[in-house]
Amino acid sequence: MFRCGIAYPRCRWILPLLLLFAIIFDIIAIAATSGWVEDDGAKTHYANMWSQCRGRNEHWDCQSLMEFSWAQAVAALMILGLIFLIVAFIISFLALCCTINISLLPVVGIVLALAVILQIIALIIYPVKFNELIFEGHYNYTWAYGFGWGATILMIGCSVLFCCLPRYEDELTGLAKTKYIYTSA
C-alpha cells in the first residue's frame, strides 16, 4: 500500500532553510566584484553595485559609484534588506525549529515584506539610473544582479507562507491527523 501526504512537522525546517539560501544569494549579489552589468560585445566596461570599471585584460580603470546618490541609495537599501532578512531568519529559526511559536510567524512575514520592498526598490533604481548615466550601447545584466532578484523572489514566497502558516497550527505541532493526498490499495 502506498500513501502520499504532507508531514507538516518535518516541513518546519524548510522555510528557515529557504531564508538561509536567500541570505546567501543576497550576500553574493552585494559582494560581487565581477559586476551587475557588463557591455555586450567588447567586454570593456562593467559595473557592480559599488564601482564601474573600463579597460581590457589586465588594465582596468575603476571608479567608485558611491559618489552618486542613487548608488548610495541602492547600497543602503540592499544592505538594509539583508539585515531585515537576517533578522527574519533568526526569528523564524526560533519560532519553527527550537520551539513552535505560532505568534512569531506573522512577524517574520511582515519583516520579510519590508525587506522585499527595500530590495525591489534598489533593484529597480540601479538599472534605471545606470542606463540614464552611463549607457553607451548594449549591456547585459549578469548573474550577480540575478542573485539579488533570486533572493528577493525567495523572500516574497516565504513572506506569503509565513503569513499563512498560523492557520495550520495543529498540523505544525503534530496534533492534527495526517491528510493523505493519495492512497492506493
Torsion sign, CA atoms 74, 75, 79, 80: negative
Q: pTM to 2 decimals?
A: 0.85
Rounded to the nearest 10 degrees, what angle do helices 69-93 and 105-134 cross at? 160
**Cell digits of residue 109:** 512575514
Q: Which of the listed ranges 45-49, 159-163, 165-169 does the model predict with the highest average pLDDT? A: 159-163
Phi then psi for residue 130, to 5 deg, are -60, -45
CATH topology of domain 9-37+64-184: Butyryl-CoA Dehydrogenase, subunit A; domain 3 (1.20.140)
Is residue 1 very low, low, confident or very high in pLDDT (cuts 50, 70, 90)?
Answer: very low
Grid coordinates 533593484 are at which residue? Answer: 123
By CB atoms closer than 10 A (0-12, 13-18, 19+), residue 121 is middle
Q: What is the mean pLDDT of residues 161-179?
A: 73
Q: Could you tell me what percent of the chain has a pLDDT over 90?
A: 42
Q: Using CA atoms, how far apart are residues 164 and 9, in angstroms rounded to an integer? A: 16
The one-character DSSP state at 3 is E
How much is the pLDDT for 62? 85
Q: For residue 170, what are the CA distances in angstroms to 3, 100, 132, 160, 173? A: 21, 11, 53, 19, 5
